[in-house]
């Protein structure tokens, strides 16, 4: 049986995309095979550029599919309007 893709590997391209708009993407193990993805704004973040939550969730759920984790939820920066 093939080993599951690591979460870091699975999220790498999206992490790069978020960094283009000035956001930092991290994830944490929420237990029971669930992962929480957290988006944080850096000093240079473009507030209006943040990917809307439904779109973010869609991307994250698909990105995690080849891993041993399922998406629990995505946390956006405080005050995010999308």
Partner 1 sequence: MTTLREALLDPTGAVEGQDDSTLSARPVTLKGLTVGLLDNTKPNAMHLLDEIAADLERDYGVATFKRYVKDYFGTPIKDELFQQIVNEVDVVITAVGDCGSCSAATVADGILFERAGIPTVSITSDSFAMSGQAMADVQGFPGFRFAMVEHPMASLDAAQIRGRADDIMPEVLRILGVTEEA
Binding site for partner 1 (CB under 8 A): 13-14, 16-18, 20-21, 46, 48-52, 54-56, 58-59, 62, 82
**Can you say whether residue 62 is alpha, beta or left, with left for phi > 0 and alpha for psi between -120 and 50 degrees?**
alpha
Interatomic CA distance for residues 65 and 57, integer angstroms: 12
Give all strands (DSSP E) within 1-82, no chain letters. Answer: 23-31, 34-41, 70-75
* Least distance to partner 1, CB of residue 41, Å: 12
* Least distance to partner 1, CB of residue 32, Å: 25
* Least distance to partner 1, CB of residue 20, Å: 5
| Beta carbon nearer to partner 1, 32 or 48 | 48
């Amino acid at each position: 049986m093939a080993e599951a893709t690591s979460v870091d590997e699975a999220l790498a391209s999206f992490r790069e995309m978020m960094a283009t708009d000035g956001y930092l993407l991290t994830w944490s193990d929420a237990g029971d095979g669930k992962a929480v993805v957290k988006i944080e704004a850096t000093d240079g973040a473009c507030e209006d550029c943040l990917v809307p939550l439904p779109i973010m969730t869609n991307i994250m759920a698909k990105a995690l599919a080849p891993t041993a984790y399922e998406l629990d939820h995505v946390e956006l920066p405080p005050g995010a309007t999308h």
